[in-house]
């Protein structure tokens, strides 16, 4: 289901802000004879931090990956850059976790089938058997690990073993209705995306649509964020809202919310897979396409 046919390396860089960074880093690539397809920067003047996303064309690369990486690492050490290198040729492996609700799963699989998600989805994991039918429709293996009382650690061990075995890069919680333990989360820092069915920080916790109805808000929303130990407090990747009115019952809010959740989660996963996100504390830098 790989969409990207370009052969690129995408560097995500964070460092302290100072003069000359753009000149030095862009010159590095010029001297190594690379074409910069796109370079995006952001100076956080509040925290004096510098962030950069740089896409390099590898089509006419004359050196090896290893050579490129070693050379860049030399520069990074000198400049004290935090960075990752991501190759579009290395397709990311994504596991989707679900419970009983299928709408976000369907939306992901639909975009995946259309070639709009640049990844492989080798498996779907659930704590319930209900959505096996959906997985079957898209010919994706479905693993069900029920959550038995007092057996959370065991269940999570089964899940994480499976994730490791499949070399999963990104975990997407597409309405997986279990709180992951800190241990689980620490295995995938900034690599677990969750969808919360409210416009955070409003309506944290359960039953957001019911509470939105009771409060009489005029718009409802959804929020995709990286999972952290602190529930609903992870760095926000994407949000969206839709206008509602007094006639909408709590049930209708839930239905309207489904379409918001779908698109918010799919957009967040897309941004992650396109290597457009850098996390900085509780905030994310999401470079536009």
Residue from 16, 90, 214, 230 in contact with a second copy (CB under 8 A) = 214
Is residue 232 part of the annotated active site? The answer reads: yes
Segment lying near a second copy (by CB under 8 A), choices 76-84, 117-125, 166-174, 241-249: 241-249
Residue from 35, 48, 84, 158 in contact with a second copy (CB under 8 A) = 35
Please report whether residue 113 would count as binding a second copy according to CB under 8 A: yes
Please report whether residue 39 would count as binding a second copy according to CB under 8 A: yes
In the window 84-103, what residues touch a second copy (CB under 8 A)? 102-103
In the window 139-198, what residues touch a second copy (CB under 8 A)? none
Binding mask 249-268 for a second copy (x = CB under 8 A): xx-x--x--xx---x-----
Shorter beta-carbon distance to a second copy: residue 67 or 137: 137
Please report whether residue 235 would count as binding a second copy according to CB under 8 A: yes
Please report whether residue 200 would count as binding a second copy according to CB under 8 A: yes
Tell me how far apart the alpha carbons of residues 30 and 17 are, in angstroms, rounded to a whole number: 22
Where in the sequence numbering do the catalytic residues fall? 232
């Amino acid at each position: 289901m790989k969409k990207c046919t370009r052969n690129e390396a995408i560097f995500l860089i964070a460092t302290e802000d100072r003069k000359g960074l753009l000149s030095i880093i862009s010159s590095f690539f010029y001297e190594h004879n690379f074409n910069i397809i796109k370079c995006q920067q952001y100076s956080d003047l509040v925290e004096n931090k510098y962030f950069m996303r740089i896409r390099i064309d590898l089509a006419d690369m004359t050196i090896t990956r290893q050579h490129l990486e070693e050379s860049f690492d030399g520069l990074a050490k000198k400049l004290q850059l935090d960075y990752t290198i991501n190759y579009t040729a290395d397709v990311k492996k994504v596991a989707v976790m679900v419970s009983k609700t299928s709408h976000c799963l369907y939306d992901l699989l639909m975009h995946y089938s259309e070639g709009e998600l640049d990844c492989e989805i080798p498996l779907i994991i659930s704590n319930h058997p209900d959505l096996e039918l959906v997985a079957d429709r898209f010919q994706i293996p479905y693993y069900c690990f029920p959550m038995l009382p007092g057996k959370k650690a065991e269940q999570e061990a089964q899940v994480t073993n499976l994730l490791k075995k499949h070399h999963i890069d990104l975990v997407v919680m597409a309405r997986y209705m279990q709180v992951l333990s800190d241990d689980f989360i620490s295995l995938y820092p900034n690599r677990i995306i969750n969808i919360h069915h409210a416009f955070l920080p409003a309506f944290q916790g359960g039953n957001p649509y019911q509470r939105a109805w009771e409060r009489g808000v005029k718009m409802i929303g959804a929020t995709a964020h990286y999972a952290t130990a602190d529930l609903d407090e992870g760095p926000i990747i994407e949000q969206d809202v839709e206008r509602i009115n007094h006639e909408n019952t709590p049930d209708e809010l839930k239905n309207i919310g489904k379409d918001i959740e779908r698109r918010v989660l799919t957009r967040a996963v897309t941004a992650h897979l396109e290597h457009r996100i850098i996390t900085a504390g509780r905030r994310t830098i999401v470079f536009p396409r």
